[in-house]
Structure 1
């Protein structure tokens, strides 16, 4: 067996090689990023930091000024998340990438995990009270049953 073959990854045997963490600027998502950073370091995995930028529903879009404001907020949040990811990188010395997707958080994370060939997904617990009834993104990801999902409080 050549050296190249001995290091090939087979899903479920060597631990995760791509860890996707969803971040939205909330305290729980930043804790999730820190947790995923430590996991990536220990597993020598790639940390894919993913921000899903919400897309306003057609009925909610009342014109360009609101859309521009939403983009400005998103840009500010992306900058904040990038800076937080940089801090995580410095602490954990991991290989990492930053990705932005558009859509609702659940669909965006599913797309990200599929596109990035995620072996594991890490998210923060929802901080919205209504999610206890309706179901959070984390619960929906677990129910999808496609990747191991870690929910960080």
Structure 2
């Protein structure tokens, strides 16, 4: 049982085989040294659920005084690029539009609450892009929107794969 005024990792003393008291060493768990998340990564792709996730993550970042890292993973479509389609230009435009939306939203609420945020783009599939982003940014938490695609019930959504990875707390916003 934890003492109300003692440190959270102290334990009561145990008796040794000679009838004396042997002190147990405190148990140590890995911690980054903070009382809350310092970096919250949120994945956005322009869908309604990802924008709701960004709003939710923004609220978490505000309350926790965390950095909000907004991440857009640009898909790499080799087939489209091989056929001469301007895939990179299209995904760059999506990223620019997302940044503009986020800046507008941040500007509207700047007098109400301040949130420190950054926008990052990564290339690849959404799962690996978010994993790379969370690792590189040293994320303490990841927030994503629930998948809106029916096929993900069969092969698994990005959110489910992130939860199964078990490397960060993951919040899935409907």
Q: Same fold (TM over 0.5)?
A: yes
Residue 100 (structure 2) pairs with residue 79 (structure 1): yes
Structure 1 consecutive aligned stretches of length 4 or more whose deviation exceeds 6 Å: none
Cα separation, 1, equivalents of 2:84 and 2:144: 32
- The 8 Å contact of residues 23 and 81 in structure 1, kept in 2 or not, is answered as no
Q: How many residues in Structure 1 have an aligned counterpart in Structure 2?
A: 144
Closer/same/farther in 2, CA of residues 151 and 85 from structure 1, 3 Å limit? farther
Cα separation, 2, equivalents of 1:140 and 1:116: 19
Cα separation, 2, equivalents of 1:143 and 1:60: 32
Q: Which has the higher contact order (CA 8 A, sep 6+)?
A: 1
Question: Aligned-pair RMSD on alpha carbons?
Answer: 2.4
Q: Secondary structure of 1:117's match?
A: coil
1:29 maps to which residue? 50
Q: TM-score, normalised by structure 1?
A: 0.81
Q: Specify every segment of 5 or more residues in structure 1 that has no aligned partner in the other structure, as ranges.
A: 1-9
Closer/same/farther in 2, CA of residues 24 and 84 from structure 1, 3 Å limit? farther
- The 8 Å contact of residues 41 and 139 in structure 2, kept in 1 or not, is answered as yes
1:152 maps to which residue? 173
Residue 147 (structure 2) pairs with residue 123 (structure 1): no
Residue 121 (structure 2) pairs with residue 100 (structure 1): yes
Q: Which has more radius of gyration?
A: 2
Cα separation, 1, equivalents of 2:167 and 2:35: 17
Q: Specify every segment of 5 or more residues in structure 2 that has no aligned partner in the other structure, as ranges.
A: 1-30
Q: TM-score, normalised by structure 2?
A: 0.72
